[in-house]
Chain A
Amino acid sequence: MSVGRIGLYIFLAGAALFFAIPLLIVVMTSLKPMDEIRAGSIFAWPMAPGFAAWVKAWSSACTGLACNGIQVGFWNSFQILIPSVVLSVSAGAINGYALAQWKPPGANMLLTALMLGAFIPYQVILYPMVKIMSNVGLYNSLPGIVAIHIIFGLPVMTLIFRNFYAGLPDELLKAARVDGAGFWRIFWEIMLPISVNILVVAVILQVTGIWNDYLLGLIFAGREYAPMTVQLNLIVNSQMGEQEHNVNMAATLLTALPPLLVYVASGRYFVRGITAGAVKG
């Protein structure tokens, strides 16, 4: 093994530790009782690891006035996540297919508009969005936050699918048209089955994006449907009493877990889909 190789491995190990150590501290702290945290260093191994803090974080930590734990936020996030992901990915796939394959008049202009939409920081349009949602009576409601996620997700979803479908040979659509299939039939039976990898990528992007969202949830979901991230913030930043570091850490881990699981479950497709997109689109 050459010196350069050894140096490379040292660098990689260092980089891995840089990301792993904070995670390790969070995990260790969440497993310690408060006494131990107060007494010892944050680098110390837990002497009697236990899940008491996790249980408290899940079911009885105080988020403001209510003390039902972060589980309320979990279910809120779940209710927001499912329709938002399903609808934004479906709409993106259909839009992308229509734009790339059927090339309606003005498709390129629409695409440029979408690019703009995808790159405008959404803080810029938050206030008008609040006014609009409030005027149509969707402000502070579950359908409201779902609609917001769909709207904000649509440009990127459409672009991803458009690029994928633009990479397919034109003749595929022509052959299907000669065979007599229409817009929807071609989409369901020919295009969608080809798109499994890119669908997985889109779902992962949306699941992580929507689950980790804080700002939109804080503004549009209202108190009743506040997502997990907002509840986590309420727990961590509560000003009353002593800071329970172990509960905070456990709540953080609980919040981060779902996207992590999605990555682990579909990593293989994710890499495949990213490369498929890169080569073809």
Chain B
Amino acid sequence: MSVNVQGLRKSYGALDVLKDINLDVREGEFTVLLGPSGCGKSTLLSAIAGLDPINAGRIDIAGIDVTDRDPAARGIAMVFQSYALYPTMTVRGNMTFGLRVKRLPKPEIEKRLTWAADMLQITDLLDRKPGQLSGGQRQRVAIGRALVQQARVFLFDEPLSNLDAKLRAEMRVEIKRLHRELAPTVVYVTHDQIEAMTLASRIAVMRGGRIEQYATPDELYERPATLFVAGFVGAPAMNFLPVILRGGVAELGALRIPLDAYRFTSPPADGTPAVLGVRPEHVTIGGPGVAVATETLFMEPMGADTLGWFQLGAQRLSARLAPQLARGIDGAQTVALDIANASIFDQATELRL
């Protein structure tokens, strides 16, 4: 079932939280809403769920206008950040509450409960109360409570942010497995880009109540549409160099960087102030691209890679280097900027050029 949001606006008093949101989630797609806190991603999810009234716009689920429907009548299931388990009910009671409200026949409830508990390996927890469960177990129960609904659209509101790093990685795999097996449509809110990159079929990056870019993880990483997306996605962060574009050359102080390898989407006017963005893995020693003279600053070993820092004029450049290579580096060093894989943004509009 698809989820389609058109022209959605939401404000609290004078504060516009969502400004003209358009989002199209295709059937079976795993869409992640990614952004810093306060960007409106959770508000958007609430609006899709029908938990918060909206000011303007329209929401379709499975091609049906559900804008004015109650949450329960939208064919959705939801998992919350704080798990939101009913404290006085057992796990069994929690998972079957929604089914009992809907007055499903007992055998059907039992069948779905067994199936979901089995799927999440929580069968032996069914008679416990939420207070007797660990964080990971609570999250499983919360997911189970959504599973038994057998909804075709699942909404997740930062479901893993209360878990420690190890459990989070484990649950991420679990959610990915469930999505593969059941293939529901998912809208998933997070501020964690690793979660977004690993889970999503498409990511909508949000800032200030707007969607900056809605694309596959690869597209988002390789061809960010705005300066914000480029800076927000990727760790270590992309290098940003302030340049002036003139005649197919980027001027960085006295340095001239030819941009022949770059494919402009819209050719800029001469003298346009711009930002040249190069990911640390596209700053290499002896690799393809434009060679520039730098001074070595220091090395940060990170295990699989070493992050090398170099001074280029007034700017600092980070490079993702192989640890063996990084060990010998010191003093003056020529590094290559892979312009073919770089991104250039208009300084004023922050849009990709």
Q: Which A residues are closer than 8 A to B by beta carbons? A: 169, 171-172, 174-181, 185, 189-190, 193-194
Contacts and interface: CB of A to CB of B under 8 A. Distances in A.
Contacts of B76: 178
A107 to B, nearest CB: 15
Contact of B72 (A171, A178, A189): A178
B32 interface: no
16 contacts: A172-B84, A172-B86, A174-B49, A174-B84, A175-B84, A175-B86, A177-B71, A178-B72, A179-B72, A179-B98, A180-B70, A180-B72, A180-B101, A181-B72, A185-B101, A189-B86
Contacts of B83: 171
B82 A169 contact: yes
Interface string B51-64: 10000000000000
A190 B89 CA distance: 8
Contacts of A194: 87-88
Given A169-B82, A179-B72, A180-B102, A174 B51 contact: yes
B97 A179 contact: yes
B78 interface: yes
Contacts of B98: 178-181
B77 interface: yes
Contacts, number: 61
B22 interface: no
B88 A175 contact: no
A169 B84 contact: yes
A178 B49 contact: yes
A120 to B, nearest CB: 31
Nearest to B72: A180
Interface of B: 46, 49, 51, 70-72, 76-78, 80-89, 97-98, 101-102, 145, 157
Contacts of B78: 174-175, 178
Nearest to B49: A178
A-B residue pairs, 6 tightest by C-beta: A180-B72, A179-B98, A171-B84, A193-B88, A175-B84, A171-B80
Contacts of B80: 171, 174-175
Contacts of A179: 72, 97-98, 101, 145
Nearest to A169: B82
Nearest to B96: A179
Given A174-B51, A174-B78, A175-B78, A181 B84 contact: no
A177 to B, nearest CB: 5
Contacts of B102: 180
B129 to A, nearest CB: 11
B173 to A, nearest CB: 24
Which of B86, B102, B145 gathers the greatest number of chain A CB atoms within 10 Å? B86
A253 B242 CA distance: 87
Given A176-B86, A190-B89, 16 more contacts: A169-B84, A171-B80, A171-B82, A171-B157, A172-B84, A175-B78, A175-B80, A175-B84, A177-B51, A177-B70, A177-B72, A178-B78, A180-B70, A181-B98, A181-B101, A190-B86
B235 to A, nearest CB: 29
Nearest to B155: A178
A178 B46 CA distance: 11
A169 B80 CA distance: 11
Contacts of B49: 174, 178
Contacts of B101: 179-181, 185
A174 B51 CA distance: 7
A176 B70 CA distance: 12
Nearest to B51: A174
Contacts of A181: 72, 97-98, 101
Central interface residue in B77, B84, B85, by most chain A CB within 10 Å:
B84
